[in-house]
Amino acid sequence: MYAVIKTGGKQYRISEGDVLRIERREAEPGQEIVLDQVLLVGEGDAVEVGNPYLNNVRVRAEVLAQRKAKKIVVLKFKRRKGYRRKQGHRQLYTGIRIKAIEREAGEPLKEA
């Protein structure tokens, strides 16, 4: 089973056991979080699409780490003018592991 979720303004295609980096969320390492903005769920040929979200599906994930990504260097340069500007940025992220894609009890996956 796989799902497409939305978090931090981005969309991710996930399945159980996946490890990914998402935009920073307030949670301690080892804590469990629930991602409820599920856009799509699929299993084999059966796919269920939300409008915009599926109300009966949620994703449980375990927080692995709260860290900063590698530095991104922004350099502006104009030749022969003596103009140079250098700026750096380290984006905060939350590392998570997908534990389960759950739906409400007794709800089968609808055929497309």
Q: What is the pLDDT of residue 104?
A: 75
Residue 110 lies in a domain: no
Residue 51 lies in a domain: yes
Are the CB atoms for 112 and 71 separated by under 8 Å? no
Q: List residues bridging with 2 in a β-sheet.
A: 15, 42
pLDDT over 90 (residue 52): yes
Q: What is the pLDDT of residue 111?
A: 53
Residue 74 lies in a domain: no
* Integer Cα distance of 63 and 6 in angstroms: 17
Cβ burial, residue 74 (10 Å; 0-12/13-18/19+): exposed
Q: What is the pLDDT of residue 105?
A: 65
The number of domains in the chain is 1
Residue 111 lies in a domain: no
Q: What is the pLDDT of residue 103?
A: 86
Residue 76 lies in a domain: no
Structure-model confidence comparison of residues 56 and 108, the more confident one: 56
In the chain, the amino acid numbered 35 is: L
Residue 24 lies in a domain: yes
Average pLDDT over residues 51-79: 96
Token duo for residue 24: 């920073």
pLDDT over 80 (residue 83): yes
**Structural domain boundaries, residue 16:** 2-67+94-103
